[in-house]
Amino acid sequence: MKLIGIADTTFARYDMGASAADELKRTGTGFRIIRSTVPGIKDLPVACKKLIEEQKCDIVMALGMPGPKEKDRMCAHEASQGLIKAQLMTNTHIIEVFVHEDEADDDRTLAFLADRRSREHARNAYDMIFHPDRLAENAGRGLREGFGDAKPL
């Protein structure tokens, strides 16, 4: 039985953690989900590290929605660096799933994007612990999570 952590925020305007959890369950079995919710994305790094070290998660998804201002972009940058550091300290993957408000022009598209990116990364997280070969088969294939894939060169 593997443990998959899902860490998300009260700041986000969409329940990305629910999308991720739902998609994981549709994708396969053999795992249990442990959730943790924090105020904002800068609280995610230590939340993920605790899921790994205290809850023994085999992989963690970190979901968040940085706001549209310059200050928010800086927050996202700080959170991302913390997530990378947390991974290096634990030798465990943390899949960052961030949706920036300025990635979509209206709320409906933003909700669509938040849901879809969470789901596509949930499948990535699943594959990383159960089927790493699936990722290997897609090396250099221009895959994108959320919007459409890019064309391989």
Binding footprint of a copy of itself, residue count (CB under 8 A): 72
Rounded least distance, CB 29 to a copy of itself, Å: 22
Nearer to a copy of itself, 29 or 91 (CB): 91
**Two structure tokens written together for 114:** 């938040």
Rounded least distance, CB 35 to a copy of itself, Å: 6
Interface mask (CB under 8 A) for a copy of itself, residues 106-135, using x and -?
-xx-xx--x------x--x---x---x--x
Query: Is the CB of residue 42 less than 8 Å from the CB of residue 82?
Result: yes
> Interface residues for a copy of itself in 36-95 (CB under 8 A)?
36-39, 42-43, 45-47, 49-50, 53-54, 71, 73-75, 77-89, 91-95
Q: Which residues pair with 103 in a beta bridge?
A: none
Rounded least distance, CB 42 to a copy of itself, Å: 6
Side by side, the strands of the sheet bearing 59-64 are: 31-38, 2-9, 59-64, 94-98
CB proximity list for 8: less than 8 A, separation 6 or greater: 15, 16, 17, 35, 36, 37, 38, 62, 63, 64
